[in-house]
Amino acid sequence: MGCGTSIAIENQTRPSETAIKAAILIQRWYRRYVARLEMRRRYTWNIFQSIEYAGEQDQLQLSSFFSFMLDNFTQINGNGPDLISHLLDSVVDPLTEEVRQLKYEQIVVPESYSGPRLSFPLSVTDTNALLSAFKEEQTLHGKYVLQLLYETKKFLKQMPNVIYLSTSYAKEITICGDLHGRLDDLLLIFYKNGLPSAENPYIFNGDFVDRGKKSTEIIIILFAFLLLYPDHMHLNRGNHEDHIMNLRYGFTKEVMQKYKTHGREILQLLQDVFSLLPLATVIDNKVLIVHGGISDKTDLDFLSTVERHKVKSALRFPKRSIDHLNVQQSQSRRSSSRHSGRSKLDSPRSSGRTSRASRRRKKHFTKQGSCSSSSSSSSSSSSVVDILWSDPKNPNGCSPNSFRGGGCYFGPDVTQALLQKHGLCLLIRSHECKQEGYELCHNGQVITIFSASNYYEEGSNRGAYVKLGPELVPRFFQYQVSRSTRKLTLHQRVRVAEGSALRALKEKLYTHRSELMAAFQQYDIDNTGRISTSEWAQVVESVLRLDLPWRTLRPRLARLCADGNVEYESCFEDISPGDPIPPVTPNLAETLYRYRTDLEIIFNIIDKDHSGQISIEEFRQTWKLFSSHLGVAVNDQTIDDMARSIDFNKDGSIDFNEFLEAFRVVHKLDVKEQQQG
């Protein structure tokens, strides 16, 4: 009996040990799987963020070109600088406030209009009508938009730069971050947290517009609640409440498409409204709320004295003479030659346009960041730029924000110093997309809150808002607007986001093809078409300057040969150019691909009536100045040939939308999908 029992126990033990080993093996496999998935998720996030910030650097560069253009634009048809200054500078309206109000009231709304009809002062019925209309994809008539903006402007004129609130009047205050035209996120916040009211106060911390397709609806809703509950609805200005940023990131185009009759007047009024938005909010004298951040020179007392309405754009450079510009550029070149530390290539062929772009970015830091500027004449503008553009970083100190191209990086010591100086305990800011919708840093003294979910791609991030009660302990609430992602697994969501990020990165590679090839060939002395992985990664970073893990990304971007080297031309295989016009050389075509967005902005500025056409002479002058500003060598004959070739009906006008469409990077996968479809 005893032996039989022993054998039975032994037989039972063996399967148990096997099961345990199998479970351990499965767990090990699963942990590795999750780790690989997390790595892909992180580098996808880094790609999205790096390309976003590179775009902001490009916008700063473009704002410099605007000033250059204003200074040097030759007289065309008697218009002179007015060709672009009408959007870059506010137009002084000769009408009195009473006459302007009467003008808006007299705009006729056709009987066929089925949207909401507002009456001022607004009531709860009006805000409910707006919410219902926008859920049904209706558009508010231009008359009511103008009246709403006019009333908002009147109200904001009375507001100080820094708003002081108390939690003693309400149980909790809700703080929301960037919305960026995502109406679904705003509606979801209201559904989960309730509409603004005396019992449910809100602070929206800037960046209401741009990027998303419903920016107009968002500002209409926010401004309507601001007028309805002026003591319980508060709006801080963000870096995208800026008409020059709006030119690049879609809000200007959205307004003109939705309001073809009154669009230009709406945009002009919005310039004033945006410039009048408060810059900061303080709760219970303990919590500071600003959009971007601070610098080592931020002072709330000084910020309270800034004439904020004069800062129409944080990107607008003061007008200066061409001689002054040349002096600045030469000084910047000398400075860059002494401090060119980031490029890892010593080859002169790899330093041309890239180093010029870097110099232009450095010039922006010096002009607009308190960390680098000591000029008293620009201190007001610098204070506003720091508040709107800065980001927290882990190292101590304050330095120019080299990633965005504007504002500062501020460390824990800078945060601690400001909080102690003003008797504060917490800084809440937005400005940065976070995967979970919020993030704490600087020993819990800085909170970043971001309210636009799916910001980069469906499933890329959650949105969040934070609530503060009298005890000032933050409570976070996360959400995610879900449609197509609801049924996707984590692996599928990562794959979708990763695919989108890699497509954007490959476009970036293609638009820098000439520089990359020249730099690759510096290492490929024998012209084999192959270089080592480390050389490939070094070249790509030195040209694109995106601070990405290129070795990790290499398998998704370029092929590896049998000898372990990278076949560097393979990173351009999945993408191809559109169908450029005949006179354009390959090098010029690449330049046009790279600066396509900038050119579209410039052409839209010149195209006053938004007809999609500009004169040949305007095209010539604009492109000559743009190429001169970039340091791109293009002779006059090439420009003239290009202009004539796109004047298809020979009427002296150019359809620049067709011109720009020719310079669009095409993914071969897209072409295959279209053919299969």
For the domain that residue 568 is a member of, what is the CATH number? 1.10.238
Task: Decide the pairing of beta strands 613-615 and 653-655.
Answer: antiparallel
Both 12 and 79 in one domain: the answer is yes
Among residues 542, 573, 604, the one where a domain terminates is: 573
Residue 593 vs residue 160, higher pLDDT:
160
Inside any domain, residue 221: no
Tokens, residue 66 = 């605007």
> What confidence tens digit (pLDDT) does each residue in 511-530 have?
888 889 999 999 999 999 99
Both 492 and 604 in one domain: the answer is yes
Inside any domain, residue 443: no
Q: What is the pLDDT of residue 157?
A: 96
d(CA 473, CA 464): 16
Domain range for 56 is 1-89+485-511+574-677
CA atoms within 13 A on the CB side of 498: 17
Both 42 and 57 in one domain: the answer is yes
Inside any domain, residue 2: yes
Residue 602 vs residue 243, higher pLDDT:
243
Both 10 and 76 in one domain: the answer is yes
Q: How confident is the model at residue 15 (pLDDT cuts 50, 70, 90)?
A: low
> What confidence tens digit (pLDDT) does each residue in 355-396 have?
333 333 333 333 444 554 444 446 788 899 999 999 999 999
Q: What is the pLDDT of residue 278?
A: 98
CB 50 within 8 A of CB 508: no
232, 234, 240, 364: which one is catalytic? Answer: 240
Q: Which range, 24-38, 65-79, 144-158, 304-318, is most confident?
A: 144-158
Inside any domain, residue 520: yes
Inside any domain, residue 668: yes
Of the listed ranges 115-119, 409-413, 430-434, 484-488, the least confidently predicted one is: 484-488
Inside any domain, residue 373: no
Inside any domain, residue 593: yes
The reply to whether 240 belongs to the active site is yes
Both 532 and 658 in one domain: the answer is no
Both 547 and 602 in one domain: the answer is no
The kind and range of the H/E element at 655 are strand 653-655
Res 315 pLDDT > 60: yes
CB 314 within 8 A of CB 261: no
d(CA 291, CA 268): 23
Inside any domain, residue 97: no
CB 232 within 8 A of CB 198: yes
Both 500 and 565 in one domain: the answer is no
Split into its structural domains, the chain has a count of 2
Among residues 532, 549, 573, the one where a domain terminates is: 573
Q: Which range, 13-17, 247-251, 281-285, is most confident?
A: 281-285
Residue carrying structure tokens 């989108």: 500
Alpha-carbon 650 to chain mean position: 39
> What confidence tens digit (pLDDT) does each residue in 320-352 have?
433 343 333 334 333 333 333 333 333 333 333
Tokens, residue 507 = 């476009």
Contacts of 263 (CB under 8 A, 6+ apart): 142, 255, 256, 257, 610
Contacts of 395 (CB under 8 A, 6+ apart): 409, 411
Both 635 and 676 in one domain: the answer is yes
Q: Is 664 left (phi over 0), alpha (psi -120 to 50) or beta?
A: beta
DSSP 538: H
Task: Report the length, in residues, of the chain.
Answer: 677
Of the listed ranges 476-485, 486-495, 517-526, the least confidently predicted one is: 486-495
Query: Could you tell me the CA-to-CA distances from 98 to 142, 154, 470, 624 in Å, in that order?
Result: 19, 12, 43, 45
CB 233 within 8 A of CB 226: yes
Both 552 and 596 in one domain: the answer is no
Return the percentage of the chain with pLDDT > 90, whole number: 45
Both 588 and 599 in one domain: the answer is yes
Both 11 and 30 in one domain: the answer is yes
Both 490 and 637 in one domain: the answer is yes
Closest CA to 510 of 290, 667, 348, 275: 667
Among residues 573, 605, 624, the one where a domain terminates is: 573
Determine the average pLDDT of the residues in 437-443.
97
Of the listed ranges 434-438, 588-592, 661-665, the least confidently predicted one is: 661-665
Res 317 pLDDT > 50: no
